[in-house]
Amino acid sequence: MRFIVAALCSLVLGSAFAQGYPNRAVKVIVPWPTGQATDIAARVVAAKLQEALGQPFVIDNKPGAGGAIGSEAVVKSAPDGYTLLAASSGPLSIMPNLQKVPYEPLKDLAPISLVAATPFALVVNPSFPANNAKEFIALVRANPGKYTFSSSGTGATAHLFSELFNSMAGLQARHIPYKGTPPALTDIMNGQVTYTVETVAATAAHIKSGRLKTFGVSTARRTAALPDVPPLAEAADLPQYDVAAWIGYAAPAGTPRDILARLSAEIGKALQSEDLKERMTNLGLDPVASSPEEMTAFMRREQERYGDIIRKANIKIEQ
């Protein structure tokens, strides 16, 4: 009986707390530098939350260690709804499969809502002798070890998505890691590397200018940023190839459920606004909302999927 009474009291207190939330500024920790995709997406959503909830949502950039520093700062914060994380796939879905990190995403964080999906595109130099994805696959498959693919670094999302594509398409190519996306794309445009699967945000301008040629995007649906480019699932006849990086909001584990639900609902409303949709499209992002429960299940699936890619490709990074 005492347990039931305590549980009921907790629910009542949580509900009352949520009704008065927020009554002061909310800090949103972004574990990346200013101007990075997660930072920009978090800022445009924070601005909408500030309008809707009447309190400042202040962005606090804490970059470093591939997003682990800022993520750890949120994990160690009070679970009261006043410190949130601009969550993303790198530090939460990929890094725990590659190296030791000072948190367990599925245990130490309370997901709130997804905010955006980051689609990728398969790109080559315009002179590459293939007119579509199937011709590209046929040529690379017929010449194992001849071609190369770049990424922004070993273990980076672009590396994993390229390895998954290679595995599904039966390709054998040599990986050339770079320190960042710009040099990885530059050497494709210069003809020194054959291809990569990199973000639409980074490739769209080069595709439109003719400096890169694309054969398809990584998501099962077309992206608004490149509406004329088909999904690789269709163009390459790889129906299971449906991947994207993700961005969302999360809070420390233990944050009251009513607060998570209220924030999730407001984020969902924000993502319906035309100005936010346009801003996301211009960034090469696809707006995606979810409930806390949906984001929790999604994060679990993503961590398992990245782990599977990493194991099958035997990807290791220097500690």
Q: Are residues 135 and 217 in the same domain?
A: yes
Q: Are residues 197 and 172 in the same domain?
A: yes
**pLDDT value at 11 more than 60:** no
Q: What is the pLDDT of residues 98-116, one digit of tens each?
A: 999 999 999 999 999 999 9
Q: Are residues 104 and 151 in the same domain?
A: no
**pLDDT value at 8 more than 50:** no
Q: What is the pLDDT of residues 210-233, one digit of tens each?
A: 999 999 999 999 999 999 999 999
Range of the structural domain that residue 276 is part of = 23-117+246-312
Q: What is the pLDDT of residues 165-180, one digit of tens each?
A: 999 999 999 999 999 9
In a domain, 241, yes or no: no
pTM of the model: 0.88
Q: Are residues 55 and 152 in the same domain?
A: no
Look at phi and psi of residue 255 and say left if phi exceeds 0, alpha if psi is from -120 to 50, else beta.
beta
In a domain, 10, yes or no: no
CATH number for the domain harbouring residue 211: 3.40.190.10
In a domain, 319, yes or no: no
Q: Are residues 37 and 112 in the same domain?
A: yes
Q: What is the mean pLDDT of residues 242-269?
A: 97
Q: What is the distance between the alpha carbons of residues 120 and 137, in angstroms, rounded to a whole number?
A: 17
From 214, 235, 256, the end of a domain falls on 235
**pLDDT value at 298 more than 80:** yes
In a domain, 318, yes or no: no
Band (pLDDT 50/70/90 cuts) for residue 35 is: confident
Burial class (CB in 10 A: 0-12, 13-18, 19+), 142: exposed
Which residues make Cβ contacts (< 8 Å) with residue 66, sequence separation at least 6? 90, 91, 95
